[in-house]
Chains A and B, each alone.
Chain A
Amino acid sequence: DAGITQSPRHKVTETGTPVTLRCHQTENHRYMYWYRQDPGHGLRLIHYSYGVKDTDKGEVSDGYSVSRSKTEDFLLTLESATSSQTSVYFCAIREQALADGTQYFGPGTRLLVL
């Protein structure tokens, strides 16, 4: 499972509250990614990181911010959660030993914004 954990695994929150999701990896991978998965949309990239303090936006970055102060942790923050951010969030790492871009995924976080 490439040593990827996500916390929390489930969260219910109210509109307007801040929410932070954590992705933790144990194998020192350089690239980390946050996706959201919604019915009919597959996986869409929110933000990704290519090193400590190095991040970039993905396809659906509005309303989200990220931080990576340590190699092992990649945090996704919803500054003021909205109902449209109800989704399943997946973290992934890229196996850098392979040049082909294979990604390994965490178990996901189910977020419900009421």
Chain B
Amino acid sequence: SQQGEEDPQALSIQEGENATMNCSYKTSINNLQWYRQNSGRGLVHLILIRSNEREKHSGRLRVTLDTSKKSSSLLITASRAADTASYFCATDENQGAQKLVFGQGTRLTINP
């Protein structure tokens, strides 16, 4: 079964606004990762946050992790049309199986 549940399933905003996506998971994790997928393409790794970290930044991306609530959020600031894509969270479970478990994704549309 899916580990991550993402919310919302779809998000449409105006260019320049901030976009926030949320991910919840069920089991203990080593880390949580966010990936982006442009239409018709493979997934691309964006950012990783370890279980002992609470917040991480990379350019216009900010990721938070709350292990007590088993949840994470991805914030994209000052959105651009090129940010239009699907975004997936993935958890690296604490079981040594070297596997990621993906959420169902959030479809983000940036309107010019």
Q: Do A and B bind each other?
A: yes
Q: Which of B17-57 contact A (CB under 8 A)?
A: 30-31, 33, 40-45, 48, 50
Q: Which of A35-53 contact B (CB under 8 A)?
A: 35, 40-45, 48, 50
Given A35-B102, A43-B43, A94-B98, 11 other A-B contacts at CB below 8 A? A41-B2, A42-B105, A45-B100, A90-B42, A90-B43, A100-B31, A101-B92, A105-B42, A106-B42, A107-B41, A107-B42
Q: Interface size of B by Cβ–Cβ distance < 8 Å?
A: 25
Give Cα A105–Cα B37 distance, bound, in whole angstroms: 10
Is B70 in the interface zone, CB < 8 Å from A? no
Q: Is the CB of A42 within 8 A of B104?
A: yes
Give Cα A61–Cα B24 distance, bound, in whole angstroms: 25
Give Cα A105–Cα B88 distance, bound, in whole angstroms: 13
Give Cα A101–Cα B93 distance, bound, in whole angstroms: 10
Q: Is the CB of B104 within 8 A of A45?
A: no
Q: Is the CB of A108 within 8 A of B98?
A: no
Q: Is the CB of B104 within 8 A of A104?
A: no
Q: Is the CB of B48 within 8 A of A100?
A: yes
A109 to chain B, nearest CB (A): 10
Q: Is the CB of B43 within 8 A of A105?
A: yes
A40 to chain B, nearest CB (A): 7
Q: Is the CB of B30 within 8 A of A42?
A: no
Give Cα A88–Cα B1 distance, bound, in whole angstroms: 19
Give Cα A35–Cα B88 distance, bound, in whole angstroms: 14
B19 to chain A, nearest CB (A): 19
Q: Is the CB of A100 within 8 A of B92?
A: yes
B40 to chain A, nearest CB (A): 8
- A42-B103, A42-B104, A90-B43 as given contacts; A102 in contact with B98, CB under 8 Å: no
> Chain A residues with Cβ under 8 A from B45's Cβ?
102-104
B 1-25 binary contact with A (CB < 8 Å = 1; else 0): 1101000000000000000000000
Q: Which of B74-101 contact A (CB under 8 A)?
A: 88, 90, 92, 98-101
